[in-house]
Amino acid sequence: MRDLVIFGTGGFAREACQVVEDVVAAGGRWRMVGFLDGDASRHGSELRSLPVLGGAEWAAAHPDVAVVVAVGAPAGRRAVVAGLERLGVTGPDRFPVLVHPTAWIGNGVTVGEGSVVLAGARVSTDIELGPFTVLNKNAIVGHDVVLERCVTVAPGASVSGHVRLREGVDLGANAVVVQGLTVGAGTIVGAGAVVTTDLPDAVTAVGVPARVVRRHA
């Protein structure tokens, strides 16, 4: 049995805790010992009857403990990972993959370190999930898709075949990306949007069909 902490104390961190509990109930060999948070004011408090032990420095000082980075927004997740890596917390041994027992992952799928896959997600075949990918509840990923580092696919969103979501894309709840498209790095796709053309880097797109409404600084 291996000790594990969750970095984050928000809603997605509680969802990740539920995944750990369900994995353990299905025979997984994890022992949740607590949470971490970059906000020092949270240290010493409790969440789900477990302590908030500290921040990134705590993880660096406990090299035998696995860390799940459970921050839903890609930018925040990237910042947490970068801070941990600067302190020497690196590699798949420190950042395990966490997959809910009810998720389905097909053949030919590679899952990068630190990725979290929630209940009901469906991942088809010949797919690359980059490091620190988040697939939320009931997300669907079609064949031959590439999700780069720190992509988030929100609940109920669907990614069709031969799509590439570049680093840090945030695909909103129930959004759809039709086949063969690329969504640029750091782009946000609003809830319920339908992406029918390639999207550039660092924009927000909403609507049916999705249109760019904001360019990020």
Q: What share of the chain is helix, strand, coil (3-state, %, to 5)?
A: 15, 30, 50
pLDDT band, residue 217 (cuts 50/70/90): confident
**pLDDT surpasses 90 at 6:** yes
How far is the C-alpha of 4 from the C-alpha of 13, rounded, in Å?
13
| pLDDT one-digit tens code per residue, 130-156 | 999 999 999 999 999 999 999 999 999
pTM of the model: 0.95
- Cβ neighbours for 47, distance < 8 A, ≥ 6 positions apart: 9, 13, 14, 17, 35
Kindly report the CATH number assigned to the domain that includes residue 53. Answer: 3.40.50.20
Q: How far is CA 201 from CA 8, 35, 36, 216, in A?
A: 27, 33, 31, 9
| Pair (70, 116) in one structural domain | no
| pLDDT one-digit tens code per residue, 156-206 | 999 999 999 999 999 999 999 999 999 999 999 999 999 999 999 999 999
| Pair (29, 65) in one structural domain | yes
Output the six-digit token pair for 190: 């609003």
Domain final residue pick, 86, 114, 133: 86
Kindly report the CATH number assigned to the domain that includes residue 205. Answer: 2.160.10.10
Domain final residue pick, 86, 118, 138: 86
